Amino acid sequence: MNDVLDVALRLLVVFVVFLTFPLIVGQTEHKVMAHMQGRLGPMYAGGFHGWAQLVADGVKFAQKEDVVPAGADRRVFQLAPAVALLPYLLVLLAIPIGPSEGAVGQVIDAGVFFVLAVMGVGVLGSLMAGWASANKFSLLGGLRTAAQLLAYELPMLLAAASVAMAAGTVSLPGILDAFEWWWLPWQIVGAIVFFVAGLAELQRPPFDMPVADSEIIFGAYTEYTGLRFALFLLAEYAGIIVLCGLTTVLFLGGWHGPWGADGLGWVWTLLKTAVLAFIVIWLRVTYPRLREDQLQKLSWTLLVPLSLAQIALTGIVKVVIQ
Amino acid sequence: MTSAAATAHAVTLSAQGHGFLSPTGVEIAFLLVGLLTFGAALVTVTTRQLVHAALWLVVTLGGLAVEYLLLTAEFIAWVQVLIYVGSVVVLLLFGLMLTKAPIGRSPDADSGNRWAALTVAVAAAAALVWVVVDAFRTTWIDLDGAAAGSTEVTGASLFQNWVLPFEALSVLLLAALVGAIVLSRKAKAESSSPPVNSRAASGGSPSVPDSRNHPIEGTQPDGPQKPADPGAPAEQEGAR
């Protein structure tokens, strides 16, 4: 009975995190972008600095009519947002935030493979949406999504493999247990490759060619309205949380910090994740969108060789220190 | 589950204590998932809607991953999802999107070879089932002990006992990769570049020197879809 309660409690906590953290990132994005652009952003909803803006947005989305285009493939069209969103919930289960046994939703033996595999499934949602909408802009968005995923999945995997080699395990808590501070300079190239490839997989600016609003309206999500559209947006922000959390755990040492690693490990994890999320927002405001061919070129001619070099470096250092 | 699994011994050479009439929970789950996977596989090859076939393939491959999980082969299960669901199906869908792949049935999505295909499929399945049954007839997985299919065990056996096949496979894949590159380069040399250039001209954006290196650009189904001006601001106009 105690076990059941324990599992239920963990699932509940992960679910609450899944529902609230994306909203926090979204609100931060509103405010950070506004201040970087010399304006105030939402100021009225909720009273204090517009904190309830996203809640109001949510209510607005829930009120809107859920339209399915007449020519669309109904079932695939309606299923797509769930396929896009649920994988991130599953990934969140496997990310450890503290050193103790209880600080992770579920310890998974092959954690690195689990998170990368399940994150890859999320993109199927965009592809389903792009095809089932019966709209040529959606189709173009879906095509670009697929091309982008195929290009960036490889460097992301290779970068993660480098850390797994360094730690000698593919379990996420295991990697954190093996972490030393000097891994930071050692794995920095892999970290950057992982983060950039993850951004591209999330289709965040500057890699938002699949949803480029100035040319293909909103890519695969063009035909969506109401709650289903909101679910796609939620998937994007949940993706930011997952990507930043994973980068923290794999490359930045997760709960390791200069001090207070015993009781306050989870604070370090959250802090590092928040800083990375800030960088994600910062990049969106700073960089112009990469063109489709530049996107492909960046992955195949820069990120893949860099990640291979990182793997070679990891291997050499690993052999030398043994 | 653990109490049910407790009846399973270490890998034994006899089926004693494992009667087929009193299956454990895991065995029942295995059978049900297997039936689901089989059904999805049947729909995959019989449906007339091309993209639905690809999506049912996702269900099939996912079902197989669950079967691996139930057999304690966790590593293989995640790799199955990563490679097949995450990459192969995405590639399939990408290819389908480049074709017409209409919404609804494609009346011509049928092959005159269906009986030959059925014969080959049944023969292959029979051979595989026969080999597996013959090899593992009385072997049972011990669900209580250390996982027999964990990453560590899989890695150790792969790189201790099966290094040669592993390396041979990687050479085979490398050869396929090189072959694909050679074929695509040859095709490009034969096709003339004017279509790309005229498209770039009609698109009104500056010609990109290496845009023809990227097949995605050249094969988009709709008309001139030239990428945006590289200086376009990211979503928010006030970015600067």
Instruction: Report ipTM (2 d.p.).
Output: 0.80
One domain, residues B171 and B54: no
B211/A293 touch (CB, cutoff 8 Å), yes or no? yes
Q: Which residue would you say has higher pLDDT here, B172 or B106?
A: B172
pLDDT of residue B237: 39
Distance from the A124 Cα atom to the nearest Cα atom in chain B, whole angstroms: 7
Closest residue on chain A to B154 (Cα): A110
Let me know: does A303 contact A172? Beta carbons within 8 Å.
Answer: no
One domain, residues B168 and B150: no
pLDDT of residue A266: 79
Closest partner residue to A143 (CB to CB) among B81, B147, B220 is: B220
> Chain B residues with CB inside 8 Å of A109's CB?
74-75, 147, 150-151
Residues 6+ apart with CB under 8 A from B62: B81, B85
Asked if residue B133 is part of any domain, the answer here is yes
One domain, residues B135 and B191: no
Residue A230 to residue B185: CA distance in whole angstroms:
43
Segment A107-126 shows an average pLDDT of: 83
pLDDT band at A105 (very low <50, low <70, confident <90, very high): low
Distance from the A78 Cα atom to the nearest Cα atom in chain B, whole angstroms: 14
- In terms of residue numbers, what domain contains A293? 2-321
Q: Which of B74, B78, B105 should one mutate to test binding to chain A, selecting the residue with the greatest count of A CBs within 10 A?
A: B78
Closest partner residue to A109 (CB to CB) among B89, B90, B151 is: B151
Mean pLDDT computed over every residue of chain A: 85
Residue A61 to residue A71: CA distance in whole angstroms:
23
**What is the tens place of the pLDDT at every residue in A40-80?**
888 888 778 888 888 888 888 888 888 888 888 888 888 88
Distance set, CA A186 to CA A162, A182, A189, A253, A315 (Å): 10, 6, 8, 12, 11
Quote the Cα angle for A17-A20-A25, to 5°.
110
**What is the tens place of the pLDDT at every residue in B169-220?**
999 999 998 998 888 887 666 665 554 444 444 444 444 444 444 444 444 4
A209/B227 touch (CB, cutoff 8 Å), yes or no? yes
Q: Report the greatest alpha carbon distance in chain A.
A: 64
> Chain B residues with CB inside 8 Å of A209's CB?
227
B214/A293 touch (CB, cutoff 8 Å), yes or no? yes
> Chain B residues with CB inside 8 Å of A284's CB?
234-235
Closest residue on chain B to A289 (Cα): B234
One domain, residues B118 and B175: no
Least trusted range by pLDDT, from B15-19, B21-25, B84-88, B175-179? B15-19
Determine contact: A4 vs chain B, CB below 8 A.
no
For chain A, positions 56-75, list CB contacts with chain B under 8 A.
Answer: 71-73
For chain A, positions 193-252, list CB contacts with chain B under 8 A.
Answer: 205-206, 208-209, 212-216
pLDDT of residue A262: 67
One domain, residues B45 and B133: yes
> Chain A residues with CB inside 8 Å of B78's CB?
110, 113-114, 117
Nearest Cα residue to B45 out of B135, B95, B117, B123: B117
Closest residue on chain A to B234 (Cα): A288
Helix, strand, coil shares of chain B, percent, nearest 5, are: 65, 0, 35
For chain A, positions 98-127, list CB contacts with chain B under 8 A.
Answer: 108-110, 113-114, 116-118, 120-121, 123-124, 127
pLDDT of residue B213: 45
One domain, residues B30 and B127: yes
Burial of B111 by CB count in 10 Å (0-12 exposed, 13-18 middle, 19+ buried)?
A: exposed
Least trusted range by pLDDT, from A134-138, B15-19, B79-83? B15-19
Six token digits for residue A88: 């991130």
**Position B229 pLDDT exceeds 90:** no
Segment B80-86 shows an average pLDDT of: 86
**Position A103 pLDDT exceeds 70:** no
> CB count, 10 Å around CB of B87?
18
Q: Give the dihedral sign, CA A198/A204/A209/A210.
A: positive
Distance from the B1 Cα atom to the nearest Cα atom in chain A, whole angstroms: 13
One domain, residues B156 and B167: no
Closest partner residue to A121 (CB to CB) among B86, B231, B233 is: B86
pLDDT of residue B135: 85
> Chain A residues with CB inside 8 Å of B220's CB?
140, 143
Q: Which residue would you say has higher pLDDT here, A81 or B27?
A: A81
One domain, residues B147 and B171: no
**What is the tens place of the pLDDT at every residue in B149-160?**
777 788 888 888
B228/A124 touch (CB, cutoff 8 Å), yes or no? no
Asked if residue B217 is part of any domain, the answer here is no
A140/B238 touch (CB, cutoff 8 Å), yes or no? no
pLDDT of residue B216: 46
Asked if residue B209 is part of any domain, the answer here is no
Q: Which residue would you say has higher pLDDT here, B170 or A178?
A: B170
One domain, residues B170 and B84: no
pLDDT of residue A10: 81
What's the structural domain count of chain A?
1
> Chain B residues with CB inside 8 Å of A146's CB?
90-91, 93-94, 97
Asked if residue B225 is part of any domain, the answer here is no
Segment A70-98 shows an average pLDDT of: 85
Asked if residue B101 is part of any domain, the answer here is yes
A121/B81 touch (CB, cutoff 8 Å), yes or no? yes
Closest partner residue to B97 (CB to CB) among A113, A139, A287 is: A139
B93/A285 touch (CB, cutoff 8 Å), yes or no? no
> Chain B residues with CB inside 8 Å of A130's CB?
97
**Position A82 pLDDT exceeds 60:** yes
Closest residue on chain B to A138 (Cα): B97
Residue A263 to residue B143: CA distance in whole angstroms:
35
One domain, residues B28 and B68: yes
A140/B225 touch (CB, cutoff 8 Å), yes or no? yes
| End-to-end Cα distance, chain A | 46
Closest residue on chain A to B222 (Cα): A136
Q: Which residue would you say has higher pLDDT here, A261 or B78?
A: B78
Segment A261-287 shows an average pLDDT of: 85
Residue A235 to residue A241: CA distance in whole angstroms:
10
Segment B129-137 shows an average pLDDT of: 86
- Write down how long chain A is: 322
One domain, residues B77 and B168: no
**What is the tens place of the pLDDT at every residue in A131-168?**
888 888 888 888 888 888 888 888 998 999 898 888 88
**Position B127 pLDDT exceeds 90:** yes
- In terms of residue numbers, what domain contains B25? 19-106+113-161
Asked if residue B52 is part of any domain, the answer here is yes
Six token digits for residue A316: 């050499």
What's the structural domain count of chain B?
2
Six token digits for residue A85: 């969103």
pLDDT of residue B200: 42
pLDDT of residue B109: 67
Segment A293-307 shows an average pLDDT of: 89
Six token digits for residue B142: 């011990």
Helix, strand, coil shares of chain A, percent, nearest 5, are: 75, 0, 25
Let me know: does B56 contact B47? Beta carbons within 8 Å.
Answer: yes
B93/A76 touch (CB, cutoff 8 Å), yes or no? no
pLDDT of residue B202: 43
For chain A, positions 15-34, list CB contacts with chain B under 8 A.
Answer: 33
Segment A280-300 shows an average pLDDT of: 87
Tally C-beta pairs within 8 A across A and B. 155
Quote the crossing angle between the two packed helices A188-202 and A226-251, to the nearest 10°.
Answer: 170
Closest partner residue to A71 (CB to CB) among B55, B103, B220 is: B103
**SS3 (DSSP) at A37:** coil
Distance from the A264 Cα atom to the nearest Cα atom in chain B, whole angstroms: 31
One domain, residues B120 and B145: yes
**Position A84 pLDDT exceeds 50:** yes
